[in-house]
């Protein structure tokens, strides 16, 4: 492992760790797992996320300490699960921009924006990279760390079902369970649970699903969300569900937000395709098989523009495959 990374951590005393806006299980899990570890190393730690912790991650030890806007001064900032600086949101305040920044991430679209970068696109989750870092630092894993890190792994692999679920992932999960993490509790809290309002929202969004070539897409309007009684912009995994359609190679969900001024776009693909590059070209990012972007504009206009770009990209990928 890069000695610059280890040195930054070893020398730091007051650390600010930040995960991405609109946090998922890997964002919160890697943030808390690293937070517990840094405290065990005797450091002063502040954990931050610009958006609130979603209710179903509130079983995680330490989540109540996560602040939305950090206060005070630090000697190191650590970015977790962010492919670019913008993903840090308002938690990365102006006065922290001059501090050393350690970028820990697993997105293939990572911009290497840190003073030091611990980026592994082969890793299934950022939590997995944090685990390897703690191993390298020789830090024993306690049950709270284990529970947080395994949550990141389980949610980003959707319960070890993704193509990223390698033998290394399972070996790390094994060690985290041996250190006290509960796999059944994590699965039940994260993968097997959603608000009834989310199921009602799916009920509204599913009839509108349309197949365009090998792309299955649907949209969620702000009116649907209000009707279902939801305030968050996530789709509760609807895009993953769409991709289970036999006819689909790629699934897309368009979610209207900010009073119709922006659209959150979520892409998923079956192995063999790449949706990371389309997301990157729209100002977002992600992985080959799971990516996203926030695009300015109205729902219908953004949808047509993005579907055209995606069709073009898939056609180019098909051509490239035929040529090799």
Give which of ligand 5GP, Mn ion, none residue 285 binds (C-beta under 5 to 8 Å, depending on kind).
ligand 5GP
CA 14 to each of CA 8, 66, 137, 171, 181: distance values in angstroms, whole numbers, following the listed order? 11, 15, 18, 32, 27
Can residue 156 be called a binding residue for Mn ion (CB under 5 A)? Answer: yes
Identity of the residue, 62 or 292, whose beta carbon is nearer to ligand 5GP in the bound complex: 292
* Cβ–Cβ < 8 Å for 148, 33: yes
- Sheet strands (E) in the chain: 14-19, 44-48, 76-80, 101-105, 116-119, 210-212, 215-220, 250-257, 262-269, 285-286, 290-296
Beta pairing, strands 14-19 & 76-80:
parallel
Segment near Mn ion (CB under 5 A); pick from 20-28, 69-77, 225-233, 234-242:
20-28
**Residue 179 phi/psi, 5° resolution?**
-85, 0
* Residue 186 C-beta: closest distance to ligand 5GP, Å: 18
Partner from Mn ion, ligand 5GP, none contacting 83, C-beta within 5 to 8 A by type? ligand 5GP
Closer by beta carbon to ligand 5GP, 103 or else 266: 266
DSSP labels for 76-125? Answer: EEEEES-SSGGGGGGGS-GGGTTS-EEEEE--TT----SSEEEE-TTSS-
Per the listing, tokens 């368009």 go with 254
Q: Does 105 bind Mn ion (CB under 5 A)?
A: no
The residue with its CB nearest to ligand 5GP is: 292
70 binds, among Mn ion, ligand 5GP, none (CB under 5 to 8 A by kind): none
Interface residues toward ligand 5GP, by CB under 6 A: 83-84, 87, 107, 239, 266, 284-287, 290-294
Smallest separation (angstroms) from ligand 5GP to the CB of 93: 20
- 274 touches Mn ion (CB under 5 A): no
C-alpha 179/C-alpha 147 separation (Å) is 9
Q: Of the two residues 169 and 201, which places its CB atom closer to Mn ion in the complex? A: 169
Residue 239: phi and psi, rounded to 5, are: -65, -35
Distance CA(164)–CA(151), nearest Å, equals 15
Report the alpha-carbon distance of residue 81 to residue 17 in Å, rounded: 11
Rounded distance, CA 172 to CA 174, Å? 5
Binding region for Mn ion (CB under 5 A) out of 38-46, 155-163, 210-218, 231-239: 155-163
Q: Which stretch binds Mn ion (CB under 5 A): 47-55, 74-82, 208-216, 253-261?
A: 74-82
* Smallest distance, Mn ion to C-beta of residue 26, A: 3
**Residue closer to Mn ion (CB basis): 119 or 224:** 119
CA angle 211, 217, 219 (to 5 degrees): 135
Q: How far is the CB of 308 from ligand 5GP (least distance, A)?
A: 19
264 interacts with Mn ion by CB under 5 A: no
CB of 287 to ligand 5GP, least distance (A): 6
Residues near Mn ion (CB under 5 A) are 26, 81, 126, 156
């Amino acid at each position: 492992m890069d000695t610059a990374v280890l040195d930054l951590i070893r020398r730091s005393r007051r650390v600010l760790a930040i995960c991405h806006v609109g946090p998922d299980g890997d964002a919160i899990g890697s943030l808390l797992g690293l937070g517990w570890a840094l405290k065990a190393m005797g450091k002063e730690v502040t954990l931050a996320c610009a958006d609130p912790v979603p209710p179903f991650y509130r079983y995680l030890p330490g989540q109540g300490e996560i602040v939305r806007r950090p206060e005070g001064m630090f000697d190191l900032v650590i970015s977790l699960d962010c492919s670019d600086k913008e993903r840090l949101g308002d938690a990365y305040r102006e006065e922290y921009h001059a501090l050393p920044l350690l970028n820990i991430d697993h997105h293939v679209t990572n911009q290497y924006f840190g003073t030091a970068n611990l980026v592994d696109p082969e890793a299934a989750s950022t939590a997995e990279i944090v685990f390897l870092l703690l191993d390298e630092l020789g830090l024993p894993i306690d049950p709270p760390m284990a529970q947080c890190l395994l949550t990141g792994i389980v949610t980003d692999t959707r319960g070890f079902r993704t193509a990223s679920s390698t033998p290394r992932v399972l070996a790390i999960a094994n060690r985290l369970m041996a250190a006290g993490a509960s796999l059944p509790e994590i699965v039940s809290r994260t993968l097997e649970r959603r608000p009834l309002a989310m199921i009602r929202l799916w009920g509204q969004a599913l009839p509108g699903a349309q197949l365009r070539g090998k792309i299955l897409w649907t949209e969620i309007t702000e009116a649907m969300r209000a009707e279902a009684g939801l305030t968050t912009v996530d789709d509760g995994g609807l895009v993953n569900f769409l991709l289970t359609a036999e006819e689909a190679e790629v699934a897309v969900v368009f979610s209207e937000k900010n009073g119709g001024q922006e659209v959150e776009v979520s892409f998923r693909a079956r192995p063999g395709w790449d949706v990371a590059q389309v997301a990157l070209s729209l100002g977002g990012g992600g992985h080959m098989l799971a990516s996203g972007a926030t695009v300015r504009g109205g729902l219908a206009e953004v949808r047509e523009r993005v579907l055209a770009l995606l069709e073009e990209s898939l056609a180019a990928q098909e051509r490239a495959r035929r040529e090799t």
